Structure 1
Amino acid sequence: MTILLTTLNARYAHASLGLRCLYANMAELQEQTRIVEFVIGARAADLVERLLAHAPAIIGFGVYIWNVEEITHVVALLKRIAPHIKIVLGGPEVSHETQEQEITRLADYVITGWGDTGFVALCRQILHGPQPLMKVHAGPQPPLAELALPYAYYDERDIRERTLYVEASRGCPFKCEFCLSALDKTAWPFETARFLAALEDLYQRGARQFKFVDRTFNLNIKTSLAILQFFLDKIEAHPEDPLYAHFELVPDHLPDALKTAILRFPPGALQFEIGIQTFNPQVQARISRKQDNDKACANLAWLAAHSQAHLHVDLIAGLPGEDVASFAAGFDRLWSLGVDEIQFGILKRLRGTPIIRHTDEFGLVFDPLPPYAIQATGSISFLEMQELVRFARYWDLVANSGRFANSLRILLGESPFANFMRFSRWLFANTDATHRIALERLAGLVLRYLEQELGMPQNEAALLLGRDHARRQAPEGNSGQVRQARHLAA
């Protein structure tokens, strides 16, 4: 009577934290439960074959925005080939607007919200009765102290080959309407000593890459400092043994005690993901986002100037009422602060998020298929949005990759958004592609643009690209590459 826990991860390097949280709390059913992970892009028939090899009685699928279409195909095949297997769905994609989805029509049961204890309870009913009467079950939210932690169930291959996802807390107190965390009442912390003991066990087993999924890592500074001290102790005891930790920070909350701890980390040890999303105060108020822009900018500038952390900062295009000019001004402001990466995101309509309340007033038009990206708004036309999508892709290839740090300062000049948009339009006109552009070809295109469009002498352009190539061969990371380019630009 095997129970399978499965999902399709976006990449092999992503080990599913959600499946391991379920497995950790399977109680007496854990012995007959197996975790089977896949990666998106595989043939549905191949996945079904591998699932059926376990002769399961129940299969639980973790459903997310990036895998819902492929899992729908897998579930459809399973219900035709092996209709006796009970299919249980969970995850954010099926926790909202549940009745409207084809995948939930195909499945036997759906658990909305938290599944840690709800899944095992449903499995008990399926296996031992009485049989569940309802298809959709609201997952209970127990106190975190009652949940078994999942970290023992990262195996040796996970530790050796993959980034490990961990969480010191769940939930978020903020109400940004584009995010599912807007539905949370608050943030709930795991007990710090218990969590750090689990991290210690992972470290002793060889784990060196930790990605925190907490929405607000620096909300409780006492806890943040304790976790940072855990990593500092390891780094200072074994400076020859690289360690990497990724955190998501609230941009306008960086007290001196946290700055002092951050300053102690060496290059390559810290990455901060920081959501700015928009600098437009009217748009911020419209989407219920509270943010002190001046404090946020001061903190980002301080981190860029004084810390060794890699700074990955998010902006979102397509928010209700924000036009291209406003987004461009925010982009230029963010670039001037010296951050390492600007993650240029396009607004997506995640199921259940309050952003849809602005649909009519601000003319929001979303793609009906995952990932539900915005296609046009009352302030940004469809054609303009297409240009922004291409800009975002080329920005990743040229700027965020760190491969063209010297050339980038020439491409951007004094008007980064406008100048890179010009370059983006030229790239698309000369390639008709945004994907599968080989690095060698991309370098040749940058060289042509510098010479033909910006009028740079051939020998100077070639020298600039040569310096980019030499920097790519150096052991220094992207943070150093981009920051050195900024210093040159200054």
Structure 2
Amino acid sequence: MNIVWLDLNSSYAHSSLALPALQAQIADNPDIRWQIVSATINENPGTTASGIYRLHPDIIAATCWLFNHEILLHILARVKALLPDCCITLGGPEFLGDNEEFLRTNRFVDCVFRGEGEESFARWINCWNDRRLWNEVKGLCFLDTATAAYHDNGLARVLDFDRLEAPENSPFFNWSKPFVQLETTRGCFNTCAFCVSGGEKPVRNLPIGMIRKRIDIIRQHGIRNIRVLDRTFNYNNRRAKELLDLFKEYPEIRFHLEIHPALLSDELKEELKKMPKGSLHLEAGIQSLHEEVLSACKRKGHLQDALEGLEYLCSLPNIETHADLIAGLPLYRLEEIFEDVRILAGYNAGEIQLESLKLLPGTEMRNRADELGICYSPFPPYEVLKTREISPYELQTARQLSRLLDGYYNTAIWKGISRKLITEQSDFLHRFLEHLIQIGVIDQPMSQERRGVILYEFCKENYPQYETPVTLAWIEAGMSLKKQPAYRIRTKHVGPPSKWNIVYGKYHEGLRLCLLPGNETDGTDYWFGFETETQQSRPIFKATS
């Protein structure tokens, strides 16, 4: 039996766990020959289809999700035309809802799996060429070839999650990426109506000892970043503490976690404070800072607790915490989104990620879209187009605000000055966003230098008191001292003053000194020292006078 796995991702930076997770369960079957065809959604579908055709598979399997859905079907339709006898099977989050319409529309797909496929796929492999037995495979959905009747075998769940063979043991586990994913939990205690895991019970955990063994394997491969797949790592504070204690055993590895700030116990706060600097990257699911919005989404946890927890997390100097907002949630208005961004900037969130709501198959919110007054695209990625509270135009404004945040606040070079402007000037976000739209750059890729020039020119015109802070950010980022944001800096025949206050670094005569003199809004003189031998663009010395 020849199985071709079509590994179709949005970019080569990402890698799916699906293949090694499935293959590991049936790795000892000598009758199966596995082959992989890898591609991205930006490559020509015909080229990818040709690569599959050359292998003449009996079975083609792939994972279907939001951002590969369209291209995946283009590829598979071509392959089925070339190889009409091959069997095409799909799984993934796209099939958590009703799959009848999909199968009737895409007849070249023989069957799809709903739910957790490790056990079901292994069972289906034993009867893949005998459709009379397909009704016995949990989670499988297909059309009868004779009558075209739709068969739906429900939802597959792996109850003995800890008994599965680890995907790291599969020869197809991808060790070439700078990070790997480690699934420590299945299911979620929360009931978020927009999430495919909302209310997914029971919650199943791997024992700490088993997680340790898997991290050991990951460390042996030189991986230094692990994305822990656990919907809410701190839903159980005792287990969260055990995990943190485990992570301390691996100081060279950085762990990326999803955390619910409303559920932080005092004990867990103290444990987080003790974690080595840089060992944790936290994604705090906030979604909205308005109680009625969270209630409409059926998200557990009191808002005030979440705000206090998030403020605490963002205050920890040893941990980077990112916060998520979702535009398009029911009852969430555009002005409230702007307001929430300002609050999160005030907390000094590591990043502010503003996404548009997608109504995913199988979620309660998609099933209740009419009731909630949500209009959404029928095609992937199923983005919300309008709600009762936010218009299509306003949703586009929210999308553009997200672009602004990614270009400035979420960029290390410009975060400090962006945060200062957002928190101190209540109209900055609106005015700067309108400026970026008017000059036609909001949807354009821009270099860091171009972003800095635009911010400098805007502040010089509208917020002159921030001209010097933008210039300082420009200089310390190592940008050209010949460009406009640095036009005031003196680079020739500059010597040290009789007295200065050293901010960082150590002065010696071998440094090339530059002076940014004070102006009307900031009378402070700033001195920067640059290493001449190594020609570094960033200053290694800073002082004021």
Q: Taking structure 1 as the reference length, what is the TM-score of the superposition?
A: 0.87
What does residue 482 of structure 1 align with?
none
Which of residues 426, 445, 449 in structure 2 aligns to 1:436? Answer: 445
CA distance in structure 1 between the partners assigned to 2:93 and 2:440 by the alignment: 37
**Cα contact 2:192–2:199 (8 A) shared by 1:** no
CA distance in structure 2 between the partners assigned to 1:260 and 1:98 by the alignment: 47
Q: Relative to structure 1, is the Cα distance of residues 138 and 17 closer, same or farther in structure 2, using a 3 angstrom cutoff?
A: same
What does residue 116 of structure 2 align with?
114
Q: Relative to structure 1, is the Cα distance of residues 5 and 183 closer, same or farther in structure 2, using a 3 angstrom cutoff?
A: farther
User: Is residue 85 of structure 1 aligned with residue 80 of structure 2?
Assistant: no
User: Is residue 212 of structure 1 aligned with residue 214 of structure 2?
Assistant: no
CA distance in structure 2 between the partners assigned to 1:131 and 1:82 by the alignment: 23
**Cα contact 2:52–2:79 (8 A) shared by 1:** no
What does residue 146 of structure 1 align with?
163
* 87-96 or 283-292: bigger deviation: 283-292
How far does residue 139 in structure 1 lie from its aligned partner after superposition?
Answer: 5.3
Q: Helix, strand or coil for the counterpart of 1:257?
A: helix
How far does residue 342 in structure 1 lie from its aligned partner after superposition?
Answer: 1.0
Q: Helix, strand or coil for the counterpart of 1:106?
A: coil
How far does residue 323 in structure 1 lie from its aligned partner after superposition?
Answer: 1.3
Q: Map residues 252-271 of structure 1 onto 2, 5 A cutoff.
A: 252-271=262-281
Q: Helix, strand or coil for the counterpart of 1:6?
A: strand
Q: Relative to structure 1, is the Cα distance of residues 362 and 109 closer, same or farther in structure 2, using a 3 angstrom cutoff?
A: closer
Q: Helix, strand or coil for the counterpart of 1:248?
A: strand
User: Is residue 320 of structure 1 aligned with residue 330 of structure 2?
Assistant: yes
**Cα contact 1:25–1:148 (8 A) shared by 2:** yes
Structure having the larger proportion of residues in helix:
1
What does residue 57 of structure 1 align with?
58
How far does residue 128 in structure 1 lie from its aligned partner after superposition?
Answer: 6.9
Q: Relative to structure 1, is the Cα distance of residues 407 and 57 closer, same or farther in structure 2, using a 3 angstrom cutoff?
A: same
- Greater gyration radius: 2
**Cα contact 2:403–2:442 (8 A) shared by 1:** no
CA distance in structure 2 between the partners assigned to 1:40 and 1:89 by the alignment: 17
User: Is residue 69 of structure 1 aligned with residue 70 of structure 2?
Assistant: yes
What does residue 33 of structure 2 align with?
32
Q: Relative to structure 1, is the Cα distance of residues 286 and 457 closer, same or farther in structure 2, using a 3 angstrom cutoff?
A: closer
- Which consecutive residues of structure 1, in runs of 5 or more, have no partner in the other structure? 236-241, 471-490
What does residue 491 of structure 2 align with?
none
How far does residue 406 in structure 1 lie from its aligned partner after superposition?
Answer: 3.6
Residue deviations 1:292-314 (CA, integer Å, cap 9, x gap):
22222222222222341111111
CA distance in structure 1 between the partners assigned to 2:429 and 2:348 by the alignment: 17
Amino acid at match of 2:119: T
**Cα contact 1:98–1:104 (8 A) shared by 2:** no
Higher relative contact order (CA 8 A, sep 6+): 1
* 443-452 or 109-118: bigger deviation: 443-452
CA distance in structure 1 between the partners assigned to 2:377 and 2:131 by the alignment: 42
Q: Relative to structure 1, is the Cα distance of residues 461 and 216 closer, same or farther in structure 2, using a 3 angstrom cutoff?
A: closer
Amino acid at match of 2:449: E
What does residue 41 of structure 1 align with?
42
CA distance in structure 2 between the partners assigned to 1:62 and 1:190 by the alignment: 24
Q: Helix, strand or coil for the counterpart of 1:375?
A: strand
CA distance in structure 1 between the partners assigned to 2:233 and 2:257 by the alignment: 6
Residue deviations 1:372-431 (CA, integer Å, cap 9, x gap):
111221111111111111111121111112221343145324355x42132111101102
Q: Helix, strand or coil for the counterpart of 2:270?
A: helix
* 440-449 or 429-438: bigger deviation: 429-438
User: Is residue 411 of structure 1 aligned with residue 413 of structure 2?
Assistant: no
CA distance in structure 1 between the partners assigned to 2:300 and 2:131 by the alignment: 48
Residue deviations 1:197-229 (CA, integer Å, cap 9, x gap):
122122123222100121011122333233322
CA distance in structure 2 between the partners assigned to 1:185 and 1:173 by the alignment: 7
How far does residue 246 in structure 1 lie from its aligned partner after superposition?
Answer: 0.3
User: Is residue 197 of structure 1 aligned with residue 213 of structure 2?
Assistant: yes
- Which consecutive residues of structure 2, in runs of 5 or more, have no partner in the other structure? 136-141, 144-151, 480-545
CA distance in structure 2 between the partners assigned to 1:162 and 1:450 by the alignment: 38
What does residue 300 of structure 2 align with?
290
Q: Helix, strand or coil for the counterpart of 1:107?
A: coil
How far does residue 460 in structure 1 lie from its aligned partner after superposition?
Answer: 6.2
**Cα contact 1:110–1:137 (8 A) shared by 2:** no
CA distance in structure 2 between the partners assigned to 1:21 and 1:181 by the alignment: 19
Q: Relative to structure 1, is the Cα distance of residues 76 and 170 closer, same or farther in structure 2, using a 3 angstrom cutoff?
A: same
Which of residues 205, 213, 230 in structure 1 aligns to 2:246? Answer: 230
Q: Helix, strand or coil for the counterpart of 1:448?
A: helix
**Cα contact 2:20–2:172 (8 A) shared by 1:** no
CA distance in structure 1 between the partners assigned to 2:220 and 2:27 by the alignment: 26
What does residue 409 of structure 2 align with?
399
**Cα contact 2:263–2:301 (8 A) shared by 1:** no
How far does residue 57 in structure 1 lie from its aligned partner after superposition?
Answer: 0.8
User: Is residue 451 of structure 1 aligned with residue 460 of structure 2?
Assistant: yes
Q: Helix, strand or coil for the counterpart of 1:400?
A: coil
Q: Helix, strand or coil for the counterpart of 2:8?
A: strand
How far does residue 127 in structure 1 lie from its aligned partner after superposition?
Answer: 4.5
What does residue 19 of structure 2 align with?
19
For the aligned residue pairs, the C-alpha RMSD in angstroms reads 2.5
What does residue 169 of structure 1 align with?
185
